[in-house]
Homo-oligomer: A and B are copies of this chain.
């Protein structure tokens, strides 16, 4: 284990001053004779010298680091988001510090503290919904905060990138109605989440347009984690007049709900038609292939990174950026056309 050479070691070995080495390191920061440059470069190579990021960061402001604070990377949706964010960031030469909250606000606040201490230039996050004071502080500190997928209603001044939740749920519901379904259930995120609220609103709108009765029993909110989604599904199937179609509008709960339906021996789409918010590759492999709402994860990632980086130059003046990208309804085979309806 050799000890790391510093810029001074390089300077000494090359017979120049540290200033010259620094200039070689940062082309354009000053003149260096061609001969000197190549000599210094050689020395750096033989010594195995690498400039130390920590020292650089100390001197300048925000480092080239982005914080990515997700609920949970084992969820394929977040995983793919993370993948895209990382790629997008790397393409711009910046690094990603990945943190997870497990939907726990206590953990979230700890992670945020770390992020503050590291002086990351931006944070892309799926907020739990609490820690309002910290989010505000972050913005005051000049950190660019971007909420992705969800947001916090009481923090309207934060940038948001998400799909058009209202329209996505509306069109999914409308498709079911158009297939003759009269009793359409929906499982969505927590009532407190913007995502959940918007999707429910779109659902209601579709029912209204189709002239269908709204039954609160058919609307279920499920927490992002845990068995809530499965429980909601079971509950829905056990009401007096159960739904013939179901929209699973909570990405985090799709697998859980499907597992429950499968165990209950529900025939899809014979007994129950299903549309899910999740475009994981396996939705196509199931029997029947699932009709899905596809979220353009690449766009979500690209816009998030862009916002998290661009605004850094303290614009923090006008309104926050709210970017809504369109989701795509992909029809496959999990929706049945109802012949007879009461």
Q: How far is the CA of A57 from the CA of B117 in the complex (A)?
A: 12
- Cβ of A112 to closest chain B Cβ, rounded Å: 10
Q: Which residues of B contact A53 (CB under 8 A)?
A: 114, 117-119
A80 within 8 A of B: yes
Contact A119 B52 (CB under 8 A): yes
Q: Which residues of B contact A284 (CB under 8 A)?
A: 259, 262
> Considering only CB atoms, which chain B residue lies closest to A82 in the complex?
B73
A154 within 8 A of B: no
Contact A2 B117 (CB under 8 A): no
A142 within 8 A of B: yes
Interface hit among A8-16, A90-98, A332-340:
A90-98
Q: How far is the CA of A116 from the CA of B51 in the complex (A)?
A: 9
* Interface size in chain A (residues, C-beta < 8 A): 58
Contact A97 B100 (CB under 8 A): no
Q: Which of A47-98 touch B at CB < 8 Å?
A: 48, 50-55, 57-58, 63, 68, 72-74, 76, 79-80, 82-84, 86-87, 90, 95-98
Q: Which residues of B contact A2 (CB under 8 A)?
A: 140-142
Contact B79 A48 (CB under 8 A): no
CB < 8 Å neighbour of A99 from B90, B111, B116, B287: B90
A314 within 8 A of B: yes
- Evaluate whether A97 and B95 lie within 8 angstroms (CB atoms) in the complex, with A74-B79, A255-B282 already known: yes
Q: How far is the CA of A48 from the CA of B113 in the complex (A)?
A: 11
A228 within 8 A of B: no
Q: Which residues of B contact A310 (CB under 8 A)?
A: none
Q: Which residues of B contact A282 (CB under 8 A)?
A: 255, 280, 282, 285-286
Contact A74 B63 (CB under 8 A): no
- Cβ of A120 to closest chain B Cβ, rounded Å: 10
CB < 8 Å neighbour of A285 from B79, B82, B140, B255: B255
> Considering only CB atoms, which chain B residue lies closest to A314 in the complex?
B1
CB < 8 Å neighbour of A83 from B1, B72, B87, B119: B72
Contact A48 B141 (CB under 8 A): yes
Contact B58 A55 (CB under 8 A): yes
Q: How far is the CA of A314 from the CA of B140 in the complex (A)?
A: 42
Q: Which residues of B contact A86 (CB under 8 A)?
A: 73, 98-100
- Cβ of A74 to closest chain B Cβ, rounded Å: 4
Q: How far is the CA of A40 from the CA of B42 in the complex (A)?
A: 50
Q: How far is the CA of A97 from the CA of B115 in the complex (A)?
A: 12
Q: Which residues of B contact A102 (CB under 8 A)?
A: 87
Given A54-B118, A73-B73, 7 more A-B residue pairs with CB atoms under 8 Å apart are A4-B141, A58-B58, A72-B83, A76-B76, A82-B82, A82-B98, A86-B98
Contact sample, A vs B, 28 pairs, CB 8 Å cutoff? A1-B314, A4-B119, A4-B141, A50-B113, A50-B117, A52-B117, A52-B119, A53-B117, A53-B118, A53-B119, A54-B57, A54-B63, A54-B119, A72-B83, A73-B80, A73-B83, A79-B82, A82-B82, A90-B99, A90-B107, A95-B99, A96-B97, A97-B97, A97-B98, A259-B285, A262-B285, A280-B282, A282-B286
Closest 9 CB pairs of A and B: A79-B79, A54-B57, A73-B83, A1-B142, A98-B98, A287-B287, A282-B282, A74-B83, A74-B80
